[in-house]
Structures are given as structure tokens and as C-alpha cells.
């Protein structure tokens, strides 16, 4: 496991880069605004509550981290800096798959097993659909009802506002809260929408992919990019009349995985079949996850990956912040109207239009 101090240093390095530069904010937050927020939010109380694993205060801490209000962002960074020395000790596992593949059924079955084994489990979701429609595929609290009642489980739905970058940031920061509260397994769930799988793969130690046996072409609809990222592939619903089909799909996917990841000598991502409803293959799934963990730890790749993830985290924050600034810059907003209409009328070229937008942006930012 990464040494605490080194881990803190890396975390702080990236956090301090962004502290005080709120997403969408170009100026520092006025001290009186922060002071007002401080009257309602007690960072020390939240810190103590998280460390004591107080569920109400953990929820409030995460709500603070999810907030985009500038004053809240300042307090959120203060809380994070306090919590960071106590974070980093959970095994973080990503789970992706299309809606209906059986993610919540599986996570509930796996979660109950992990709790019975003595683990403390947090389940987080990244659901980009919820940021667009305000309704969500994953965020529904009634999913995993049994697991949600367990004292040693905490299920947090995806934030329902913000860009994918913003949601990913909130999820990463929530992981710090759960780890500081003593949770030792974190499952991050996502649907295969847009870039959400990439975002999840960049914040976990083991990335798993749930698939279904299709009719005819078994690999239809499975993105090569997902296979490239996956450390473990599981064909779910391998039960009843579907069992044979699932086994065949697993053989085909295993062959595809060997083609996609031929050079990977450290870890050959296994392809298994399972049935979340019949609780078949759940143990095997977890055995592979722990074997992967051991292989990564022993080779030093675990630590390397976590450090690289800090760098990726920083850059995704930089990209997110820049994009927000670009979109809200008053000169850009003005110029945009003009050049878009000129473009539609074929009066200028896209290259020239892009230059105009960027010089409008540079005016306020150089
Ligand atoms: P999610 O959208 O990926 O979270 O999928 P759900 O867990 O909600 O499952 C979608 C449907 O598939 C539900 O009706 C489940 O009961 C069913 N399901 C989930 N896992 C299995 C399985 O292993 N076998 C079978 N036959 N059905 C399953």
C-alpha cells in the first residue's frame, strides 16, 4: 500500500493546484462569503463525524464535496486536506455494463458476501445520464434495497448535476471520505455512456466489465475500448436456458481479450460466467479481483497506477476548469454569437472563427 505521507504529498500536490480556483470561478471567493458559509457548515464537525463513521455527517460531507457553490468549494477543500492523511487504504473496484446487464443485482450479491466476510463497503455511481436529464439510470436509491439496510454498507447515488468531469471529481473526493471513515472496499459503478467508463477506469485499482451473451454475433455492441481497459470480464445471466450461450460467449470474449491485450504479461484479464440471481460465480469474481490486487501490489504497479491517477485527476480538473471558464467568459459569449452566424453564412472559415473565439478568451486571461 502507498505510504501515507507520500500519498498525501501526491494528493495535496494536485489538490492545491486547484484549491481556491473554483470551477467556473475566475476570481477568489470573497472572505465574507466564506465566513457566512462557515456559520452553517462546521468543517471540524464534519471531519470528526467522518472519522467516526457517522452516517449523517458522512452524507453531509459528501453533499459539501458535490456542491459547486464557490464558498462551499473552499470549505470542501479544507475538509479534504484534513481527511487525506486517512485515505488511500481501500481497494477500489470499477464495474461497468449496459443498463439491464445485472449490475445492481450483482453488486447486492457481491456486497452481501463482502460484508459477511467482514468488509466495509461503499458503492458509488457515475451516471452521466443523470446530469443531462436529471433522471438517472443508476442513481435510484431503491436499487440494492437489501444492501442499503446494512450498517457496513453505504450506497451513494451519482450526483445529479454537473458535467461528467464534475461528477467524476465528486466521486473521487467521496472516495476520500469513505476511506477516511474506514471503508475498505469501494465499488464504483457506471453505465457505458460516453466517456464515463474512462473516467471510472482512471479512479479504480481494478476495472471490471459485465456483459451479456448476445444472439448471433456474440461480440456485437461491446466496445473495443472497454475490453482494453478491463481487468476482468464477466458474462452475467449464465443460468437456465441461457447457460450454454453464456459459456460460448465467454470463450469468444476470452479469445477477443487475448487479441486486445496480447502484451500484458503481468495480468491476463480472465473472462468468467456468472449468475447474479443464482449467486453463481460471485466468489470466483472476487477471487480474481483479489488475485489482480496481489499481482499489482507485488509488481509495484499498484502504487504506480495510483500515482498516475493523481496526475490524470489533476489534468481532468484543469480541462474541466478551462472549459467552464471558456463557456462563461463574457467576451467569448459575445464573440460566439457573431462568429457562429458568420460561419453559417459562410463568411469566414472554421479556423478563423476558432481563432476569434480564442483571442476573445485570451483578452481576459493573459
Ligand atoms: P442493471 O441495470 O445493470 O443494474 O441491471 P439489474 O440488476 O437491474 O437487472 C436487470 C434485470 O436482469 C432484472 O430483472 C434482474 O432480475 C435480471 N437479472 C440480473 N442478474 C441476472 C442473472 O444473473 N440472471 C438472470 N436470469 N437475470 C438476471
3-class SS string, the chain: CCCHHHHHHHHHHHHHHHCCCCCCCCCCCCHHHHHHHHHHCCHHHHHHHHHCCCHHHHHHHHHHHHCCCHHHHHHHHHHHHHHHHHCCCCEEEEEECCCCCCHHHHHHHHHHHHHHCCCCEEEEEECHHHHHHCCCCCCCCCCCHHHHCCCCEEEECCCCCCCHHHHHHHHHHHHHHHHHCCCCEEEEEECCCCCHHHHHHCCCCEEEEEECCCCCCCCCCCCHHHHHHCCEEEECCCCHHHHHHHHHHHHHHHHHHHHHCCCCCCCCCCEEECECCCCECHHHHHHHHHHHHHHHHHHCHHHHHHHHHHHHHHHHHHHHHHHHHHHHCHHHHHHHHHHHHHHHCCCCCHHHHHHHHHHHHHHHHC
Atom of ligand 1 at shortest distance to CA of 191?
Answer: 3
- φ/ψ of 271, rounded to 5, equals -115, 120
Q: Which of 100, 107, 190 to mutate to test the pocket of ligand 1 (most atoms within 8 A of CB)?
A: 100
Measured in angstroms, how far is the CA atom of residue 274 from the centroid of ligand 1?
Answer: 12
| Nearest CA owner, ligand 1 atom 27 | 237
**Confidence check: pLDDT of 220 > 90:** no
Least confident of 1-5, 151-155, 225-229: 1-5
132: which 3 cell numbers? 443531462
pLDDT in tens, 46-61: 999 999 999 999 999 9
Q: Which of 247, 276, 280, 282 to mutate to test the pocket of ligand 1 (most atoms within 8 A of CB)?
A: 276
Binned at pLDDT 50, 70 and 90, residue 180 comes out as very high
Measured in angstroms, how far is the CA atom of residue 17 from the centroid of ligand 1?
Answer: 42
Angle at 138 between CA 133 and CA 139, to 5 degrees: 75
pLDDT in tens, 98-141: 888 999 999 999 999 999 999 999 999 887 765 555 555 565 55
Measured in angstroms, how far is the CA atom of residue 309 from the centroid of ligand 1?
Answer: 32
Task: Return the closest-CA partner of residue 155 out of 58, 257, 285, 31.
Answer: 58
**Confidence check: pLDDT of 37 > 60:** yes
101 lines ligand 1 (CB under 6 A): yes
| Nearest CA owner, ligand 1 atom 7 | 102
213 lines ligand 1 (CB under 6 A): no
pLDDT score of 312: 87
Atom of ligand 1 at shortest distance to CA of 99?
Answer: 2
pLDDT in tens, 261-278: 877 778 999 999 999 999
pTM: 0.84
125 lines ligand 1 (CB under 6 A): no
- What is the chain's mean pLDDT, rounded? 85
Strand partners, 91: 185
277 lines ligand 1 (CB under 6 A): yes
**Confidence check: pLDDT of 216 > 80:** no
Share of residues in the chain with pLDDT > 90 (%) = 58
Interatomic CA distance for residues 181 and 175, integer angstroms: 10
Q: Angle at which helices 164-180 and 43-51 pack, to 10 degrees?
A: 60
Q: Which domains does the chain have, with CATH numbers?
A: 4-84 (1.20.5.170), 87-299 (3.40.50.300), 311-363 (1.10.287.130)
Amino acid at each position: 500500500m502507498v505510504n501515507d505521507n507520500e500519498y498525501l504529498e501526491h494528493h495535496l500536490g494536485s489538490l492545491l493546484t486547484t484549491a481556491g480556483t473554483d470551477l467556473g470561478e475566475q476570481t477568489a471567493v470573497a472572505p465574507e462569503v466564506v465566513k457566512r458559509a462557515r456559520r452553517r457548515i462546521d468543517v471540524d464537525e464534519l471531519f470528526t463525524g467522518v472519522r467516526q463513521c457517522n452516517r449523517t455527517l458522512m452524507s453531509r460531507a459528501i453533499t459539501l464535496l458535490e456542491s459547486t457553490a464557490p464558498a462551499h468549494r473552499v470549505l470542501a477543500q479544507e475538509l479534504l486536506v484534513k481527511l487525506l492523511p486517512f485515505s488511500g487504504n481501500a481497494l477500489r473496484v470499477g464495474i461497468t455494463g449496459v443498463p439491464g446487464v445485472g449490475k445492481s443485482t450483482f453488486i447486492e450479491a457481491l456486497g452481501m458476501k463482502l460484508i459477511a466476510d467482514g468488509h466495509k463497503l461503499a458503492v458509488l455511481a457515475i451516471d452521466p445520464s443523470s446530469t443531462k436529464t436529471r433522471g438517472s439510470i443508476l442513481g435510484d436509491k431503491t436499487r440494492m434495497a437489501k444492501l442499503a439496510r446494512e450498517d457496513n454498507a453505504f450506497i451513494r447515488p451519482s450526483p445529479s448535476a454537473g458535467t461528467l468531469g464534475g461528477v467524476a471529481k465528486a466521486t473521487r473526493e467521496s472516495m476520500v471520505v469513505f476511506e477516511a471513515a474506514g471503508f475498505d472496499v469501494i465499488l464504483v459503478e457506471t453505465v457505458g455512456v460516453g466517456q464515463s467508463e474512462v473516467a471510472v477506469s482512471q479512479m479504480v485499482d481494478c476495472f471490471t466489465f459485465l456483459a451479456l451473451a448476445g444472439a448471433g454475433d456474440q461480440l456485437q455492441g461491446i466496445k473495443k475500448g472497454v475490453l482494453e481497459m478491463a481487468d476482468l470480464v464477466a458474462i452475467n445471466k449464465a443460468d437456465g436456458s441461457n447457460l450454454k450461450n453464456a459459456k460460448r460467449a465467454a470463450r469468444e470474449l476470452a479469445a477477443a481479450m487475448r487479441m486486445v491485450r496480447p502484451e500484458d504479461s503481468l495480468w491476463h484479464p480472465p473472462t468468467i460466467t456468472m449468475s447474479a440471481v443464482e449467486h453463481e460465480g460471485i466468489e470466483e469474481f472476487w477471487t480474481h479481483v483479489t488475485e489482480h490486487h496481489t499481482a499489482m501490489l507485488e509488481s509495484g504497479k499498484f502504487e504506480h497506477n495510483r500515482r498516475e491517477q493523481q496526475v490524470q485527476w489533476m489534468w481532468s480538473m484543469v480541462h474541466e476548469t478551462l472549459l467552464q471558464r471558456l463557456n462563461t467568459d463574457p467576451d467569448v459569449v459575445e464573440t460566439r454569437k457573431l462568429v457562429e452566424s458568420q460561419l453559417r453564412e459562410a463568411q469566414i472559415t472554421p479556423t478563423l472563427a476558432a481563432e476569434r473565439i480564442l483571442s476573445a478568451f485570451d483578452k481576459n486571461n493573459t
